[in-house]
Structure 1
Amino acid sequence: MPVSSCGLRRLELSVAEPELSVDFFAAVLGWTVIAEPGGSFSGWVGDRLATQVVAGEQGWRFFFDGDEPRELKVNSSVDSGRVLHGPWAPPPRHGEPCWVELMTDAPEDEFWMNELGWESRPGAEDFVLFMSSRHGDPRPVAGRLETIRAQGWTAYFAVDDLARACERVSELDGRVLLEPTTVPTGLIASIEGPHGGPCVLLEQPKGWGGTWAV
């Protein structure tokens, strides 16, 4: 079995208008934006990389750490490098990734456990927590929700004030897909920028995974 993945090495958004998209998310999430070679951009929170925004049409892509780089299913891969976000990383600040969740109508938990060395633990109806034991006691590293809605991995970003963040989304011509509501992870809202990139905002998570943090 592969060494247990302990989080995200990096997160990437592939959209047709990368500059417009990174400007939208920077305005909502407070990123410092740096232009990169080839027309791509990176969004930073202090000295930590929040995401990269590149030209394309794949939407969000998730790069988990693992023993060797390789493609996984749906919008994810294994990559090498330093783990930036996860249960053993510093607590997420406003604008940083703070959780990842797989939305699927065909759960394949064994696949993810075998590929990433995770364990599973029931969290609630139709929901499973994936746990990593990479650095000691198992900690929640990702979630899986069985649903017929949008499929694939979903990014969560920490915000200090969810209501204000949603107001900012609307001011910038984005969409609030799901108004603020409380779920087992915490107080969330689902949003999408005017040029794509649907994601979830989580208010003041105390650690990776919000209320799942240990």
Structure 2
Amino acid sequence: DKYVVRGRESGTGICSSLNLPDTEEYDIEKELYICKKHSKKVKTNPRKYKRIRSDATFDFFTDDCEEYRLNLRIVKIKLSETTTEVLFTNLSKEEFSADDLKRLYHMRWGIETAFDQLKYALGAASVHSKNSELIIQELYGKLIMFNFCKTIVGGIAVKQQEYWKYEYKLNIKMAMCICREFWCSQTLAAPEVEKMLLNYLVPIRDNRTFPRDTVKKSAIAFNSRIA
């Protein structure tokens, strides 16, 4: 399978142990070995061997081989004058240039935004159940609600006004709260829902960036979770 994933540059992420070039951009290849043993060979070659927990599941180990060779292409790209991103991929340079990977990474933004809305606006980051089958059931329920909300939001056009400084769109977090109320209500009608949604607008301001929050998140108390 082909992939393009982001690598964390700061802190104790994988990038910190790979001896990567200290340049604004690069496109290099690395050979790593995934293993579970904490042998002398592994200890003395931390940039070549990456050890995982002994109880971790890793499907690529066999009875004859307890090391898995991983060939990585590591590409650092500039997203703006002040922002860079490190990407890990197994796509070859002949197939995809660094600019191609930059475009592919940008295409993932819609997926990232959807996951953010699903996790926080609809509360998929926290579940009530402990049983794995019931957890899956909850997640499917939230996915159905997510698709329901996006279908309604996608069908409502925001009429732009000439005196507005920015173009405006629906506030997706408030929209999901309203759509969820509409789903459960026996009295709300569709015209009322549309009117309620249009009361919550946010400006469209492209090309804004924010630093990533690297602080570890603690568990959410049950009574504070989104139902």
Report the TM-score when normalising by structure 2. 0.21
Q: Name whichever structure is richer in helix by fraction.
A: 2
Query: Comparing both chains, which one has the higher relative contact order based on Cα–Cα distances under 8 Å and sequence gaps of 6 or more?
Result: 1
Higher CA-based Rg: 2
Q: Name whichever structure is richer in strand by fraction.
A: 1
Report the TM-score when normalising by structure 1. 0.22
